[in-house]
Amino acid sequence: MSVLVERHTVDAADWIPLHISVRQDGGRLGALWASERPAAIHALSVVHERLLHLELRLTDLSYPDLSSVFPAAARMQRAIRDLHGFRSGHDERPWLIHGDEPYAFVQVEGDGVHEIPVGPVHAGIIEPGHFRFSVVGERVLRLEQRLGYVHKGIERRFESMTLTEGARLAGRVSGDSTVAFAWAYAMALESTVGATPPRRGLWLRALLLERERVANHLGDLGYLGNDGGLAFGLAQFSRLKEDLLRLNGRLFGHRLLMDRVVPGGTSVDMDPAGTNAVLEEAEHLEEEVLALRAIYYDHPGLQDRCINCGRLDARLAAELGVVGLAARASGIAIDARVFPGLAPYDELEPALCAHRNGDVASRIVVRFEEVFESLRLQRRILASLPSGDRRIELPEPAEGASGIGWIEGWRGEVFVALEAGAGGTVRRCHPHDPSWLNWPALEHAVLGNIVPDFPLINKSFNLSYSGADL
């Protein structure tokens, strides 16, 4: 059910050359994390049709700077320093640990340049993050982010849990991606014992994941319309999302589908009545979203705000290692669901939805297309849902057994690295949100735009603070 993972232990002298060869081979960095037993730095790279896990055993507190090869590594290395004390890179500023000391934002000087601080507390019920704009008039010259305000010690919390308890925590790393994180954790745990869930359980997981994708896209399309001056869009898409969440609650017992994907399969099933309800919903949603898409695409004011706004071209997106929806909107055709060997998507054969312009309008287009594709996948799943059990019981993994889970959430690739301890406990767990790779891209996408367009550009990415503030 899982993709091929190659694992190698490397020396410090080979750390950078091996990653250079990965990049030259068309690979990209997926995640970077550390462990303490033994002291090591881990890197996961995506190289064509396989995942490459490189482990660098540490003999002291420093290791070679990987950001010289993959710029996305810079913030991950800062987080590793704060969490574990292992040092790399030239940026010594804290990432997750916020004390009373002043933070050394990069200064931009020149005639007419001034700074606009935004956050960390924002209007509305959203997570905290600080944005420091350097502007001339309303034109943005530089944006610098400071995150880490919702750091909650989640990785260390895993280490006080059993593997079963860890499954619940994984689904709460980033609440709007609970299905994706729960699936990635379950996949990692299943791989530690070489177990494969029943086909019915895998197909049900896909059904829940696509429902999570649709719910989030509907919400974002509404907010994007609102930020672009079309409040009608917010009202309509909010209504559609609420209807979907209510059906989730009625059929699966939880609006956001928490704890419905579990190790070994799922905790929920489908009956004929539930199947009919989802099919009726899909028909209704498709009709309404088609009508709303026509309004969005034909609305002059919304098009004026979105086309060529917040552009991220394919070259820069690739250089930064951008993933998920943001990558596909910039013409980078990547989606873990089409990765060979990833069940059940290898049977469902999802279409990859992409655009080329890399602007806010493109990210709106990709969202619309993914809504329709997810509705198609739900119909396909329910039409051919395998019979049999939905879940198996997993044996206890051996101490030191490790596994990796990797799934395409609605934002992008969600990754979990898991190592078992003694007696069914968690020795180490690293959950990795795609926002780690996409936050730096926002700093580039906003350049040259005007300050009032930042909320629109920011929402077009809609990145997770919690997912990166472990």
Whether the per-residue pLDDT at 288 is higher than 90: the answer is yes
Whether the per-residue pLDDT at 11 is higher than 80: the answer is yes
How much is the pLDDT for 251? 98
Characterize 150-166 residue by residue with b for buried, 16 or more Cβ atoms within 10 angstroms of its Cβ, and e for exposed.
bbeebbeebbebebeeb
Q: What is the mean pLDDT of residues 428-439?
A: 96
Q: What is the mean pLDDT of residues 189-208?
A: 97
**Which one, of 65, 53, 72, lies nearest residue 5 by Cα?**
53
Measured distance CA(355)–CA(376) in Å, rounded: 19
What is the domain class of 154-461 according to CATH?
A: mainly alpha
Q: Each residue of 99-151: pLDDT tens digit?
A: 767 888 888 888 899 999 988 887 767 788 999 999 999 999 999 999 988 88
Query: Are 58 and 48 spatial neighbours (Cβ–Cβ below 8 Å)?
Result: no
- For the record, the structure tokens of 264 come out as 């070994």
Length of the chain in terms of residues written: 470
How much is the pLDDT for 266? 98
- For the record, the structure tokens of 276 come out as 């009919």
Two domains, one topology: 5-84 and 154-461 = no
Whether the per-residue pLDDT at 2 is higher than 70: the answer is no
Can you identify the CATH homologous superfamily of domain 5-84? NADH:ubiquinone oxidoreductase Nqo5 subunit (3.30.460.80)
Domain ranges of the chain: 5-84, 113-146, 154-461
Dihedral (Cα; 190, 192, 196, 201), 10-degree rounding: 0
Whether the per-residue pLDDT at 171 is higher than 80: the answer is yes
Sign of the alpha-carbon torsion through 27, 33, 37, 39: positive
Whether the per-residue pLDDT at 247 is higher than 60: the answer is yes
Measured distance CA(377)–CA(384) in Å, rounded: 11
Q: Each residue of 41-74: pLDDT tens digit?
A: 999 999 988 899 999 999 999 999 999 999 999 9
How much is the pLDDT for 3? 67
**Element housing 238 (H / E):** helix 231-252
State what percent of residues in the chain have pLDDT above 70. 99
Q: What is the mean pLDDT of residues 337-360?
A: 93
How much is the pLDDT for 415? 96
How much is the pLDDT for 253? 97
